Each structure stands twice: as C-alpha cells, then as structure tokens.
Amino acid sequence: MLQNLYRLRALGFNYSDPFITNTPTLTQELPDDLNALYNTISECHLCDLSKSRHQSMPGSGNLQSDLMIVDAYVSASEDDANDYYVGKSGEILINMLEKVIGLRREEVFFTHAVKCKPLGTNTPSKSEFNSCKPYLYKQIETIKPKVIMALGEDAYRLLTGDNTSFEQVRGQKVKYDDYLIVAMYHPQYLLRNPSMKSVALTDLKTIKGCL
C-alpha cells in the first residue's frame, strides 16, 4: 500500500489532510450573550436534525441559576409542544424540583445536550451531538451553575465522555471543571421503574445539599 502511495505521488497526485463534516463552531467563537446564542441555535443547520425538527430548543429558565438540568435529547412531545417539562415525565421532574429541592421550574435552567428532536426513534449520532456540543458548553460557561443535574445515563456520558458504569457514578458528586455534575435516573426511567423513586430521592437530596 505504501509503495502504491509513493507511485501515485510520483504521478503527480497531491495529498490533503482529512476533513470532518459538521465540525462544531469553537466555543470561543460563540456569543457570550445568551439571547444572541439562542438565535444562533435557532438558526442552526449544522446537521440533519434541522430537517425534521419543528424548532430547535435552546433551553428555558433562570440564566443565573445555581442548578442546571441537562437532558440528553429533545423528546417528540417537547418538539410538538415547543415546551419543556411536558407529559408525565415533566410532571415528575417538576415535583422533584419543588417538593425535594425546593425550587420552582422558573428558578432553574433546563436544556438538552442535543438541541433538536432526533429522527424517529434514533439516537443522535456523535456527529450530531458534536454540532451541539459547543452550544451546551457555552451555556454552562455563561450561566456558571454550581450543580448540573444530568438526567439519565446518556446525558451524563454526553456531558463528560466518561464510560464508567452509570450505577457507579449515579448520585455521586463528580467534579468537572468548575462545577459539580450529579447524575440521576431519568424521569422516564422512574415511570417504568417506580420502585427506584426512593433512590432518586436520595440523589435529589445530594443535589440540594450542594446548592
């Protein structure tokens, strides 16, 4: 193979560095003003998810909050309603915030790692997340929360890139840059496994203690 490459070069072929499609905008190049960032996210067409969404969903809530909630992906019901905390899982999340942590939904900031609804039931690809990754990190950098609540395994892995068993990190205070990440079961998981609500309660108390 190497001989063939040398032969091609001798014949006048040129080589170029490989390029990666959907290379994300560097975080430093994004606006520090969150309203301007929202406009950038709303007009984003870096990946194919922009073709199937009703809209992108940059986030909602208090821009000075000590608590940021990060879900992995926009659900179909969220995309249809153009709203957060929808359906039964949304009700569970609101109840957890109000009854355990003592915060209203308006007092926290909620966003997704991937800002658009996935195609059908597919899990967004790494390339699609990489298109959104700078947006998420710019939000974290600008809001500067004390604690990030990662809803479910996918959200935790997208935030950190950590492949440690989820059961080992769930409920733990994971130091990441200048903030803490506490991962917990996703409300959808709790709907399917109500017996795990007591575990989620313990994790919520951990989060409350960090605020």
Compute the Cα dihedral for 21, 48, 55, 147 and give only its sign.
Answer: negative
Instruction: Compute the distance between CA of residue 72 and CA of residue 86 in angstroms, rounded to an integer.
Output: 15
Residue pLDDT, tens place only, 112-154 = 999 988 876 678 888 888 888 999 999 999 999 999 999 999 9
**pLDDT (tens digit, 9 = 90+) per residue, 105-117?**
999 999 999 998 8
Domains, the chain, ordered by start? 27-210 (3.40.470.10)
| Number of residues that this document lists for the chain | 211
DSSP classification of residue 170: B
Categorize the per-residue pLDDT at 171 as very low, low, confident or very high, splitting at 50, 70 and 90: very high
Q: What is the pTM of this model?
A: 0.84
